[in-house]
Structure 1
Amino acid sequence: MLPVALLIGSNIMMTIAWYWHLKGGAGKPLIAVILISWGIALFEYCLAVPANRIGYAQGWSGAQLKITQEAITLIVFAGFMVAVLGEPLGWRHCAAFACIMAAVAFLFVGK
């Protein structure tokens, strides 16, 4: 489960790197936002790369690692969307998430 924990941490960092400026940095110059986001993304890579290496060494396929990362991304972003951006979570979000979770299930069935 270490790969999953590292992927959760990396996705939290990347969501912040990509979207923090929509509320907190809207008044900052674009170049400053890009440089700050790159700095945050550096720490994200320090979690994502080991997560993928460890997961692959534990027998996960590349596809399993990627689809797991995508599912985690949606969970993390849904929380960010509601808590930070103040946007509501609707039925369409839940339906789209269910489709991604079905994709996760398809890749892990029979492993």
Structure 2
Amino acid sequence: MGTVISKRVRAIVLERSGGQCERCFSAGPLELHHRKFRSRGGKHTVENLVALCGWGNHTGCHGLAHTDGDGGWSVHSWDDPRHIPVRDDRGSLFYLLPDGRKEQIHDPKF
């Protein structure tokens, strides 16, 4: 796994976000966050990366993703982010797909 996120993956994630935090919908500034942390084997893939507001794992939704883990914004080392849905602050639940789309879930078990 390389140490740099490819321009292609970065562009897909930022396009998916529409210039807004994918959790709270603020206008940023945005940073890319690994749902499965790199230290846990997380990769630079579209479904493992999200654009979140905040800075350096400490503030905004980026900081929250590192501290509360709720809503699928961070996943365990044994989880595959492709199979863990994300819940935004509006309550929408969706999977992040490799092509940059979001697949909304309407299943009451989640």
TM-score using structure 1 length:
0.28
Q: Mark the structure with the bigger radius of gyration.
A: 1
Q: Which has the higher contact order (CA 8 A, sep 6+)?
A: 1
More helix by share: 1
Higher strand share: 2
Q: With the length of structure 2 as denominator, give the TM-score of the two structures.
A: 0.28
